[in-house]
Amino acid sequence: MATLFTKIINKEIPANIVYEDDDVIAFKDIAPVAPIHVLVVPKKEIPTINDITDEDALLIGKVYRVIGKLAKEFGIDKDGYRVVSNCNEHGGQTVFHIHFHLIGGEKLGTMV
Ligand code: 5GP
């Protein structure tokens, strides 16, 4: 089912877009938890990590390639950053269109 990220992809609602190509879009999170907080989103509507198929392998690889490029662009590649993807209720997922939080710009607390 289409989520608000589809509306952002289709430019039906505004977002601070920092990267876009045919397959992937990235925009600033509306409620950042760190100085840099970008959501990197494959345009294909995949609800959760559980729904990723073999045919999505290249797409997910591309997402990580974009994350690396953005980290460099934002100047956080050397100091480091965190990538988070929440899945379903216990993981804290609220938008059911897979996305990867790129978080950095400060020393982050240990999570795992
Ligand atoms: P999740 O909780 O599913 O892992 O992450 C969803 C993220 O989407 C949250 O960090 C939330 O702040 C962000 N978000 C929710 N609504 C909007 C919106 O309308 N615009 C943007 N840019 N981010 C949003």
pLDDT tens digits, residue range 6-50?
A: 999 999 999 999 999 999 999 999 999 999 999 999 999 999 999
The predicted complex's ipTM stands at 0.99
> Residue range 104-110: average pLDDT?
97
State the Cα torsion 61-97-100-69 to the nearest 10°: 50
Domain ranges of the chain: 4-104
Find the catalytic residue in 37, 97, 99, 101: 99
Q: How many CA atoms lie within 13 A of 92 on its CB side?
A: 5
Q: Is the CB of 27 under 6 A from ligand 1?
A: yes
CATH number of 4-104: 3.30.428.10
CB 20 within 8 A of CB 71: no
Q: Which atom of ligand 1 is nearest to the CA of 86?
A: 4
Kindly write down the DSSP assignment for every residue of 32-86, as one continuous string: -SSSEEEEEEESS---SGGG--GGGHHHHHHHHHHHHHHHHHTT-TTT-EEEE--
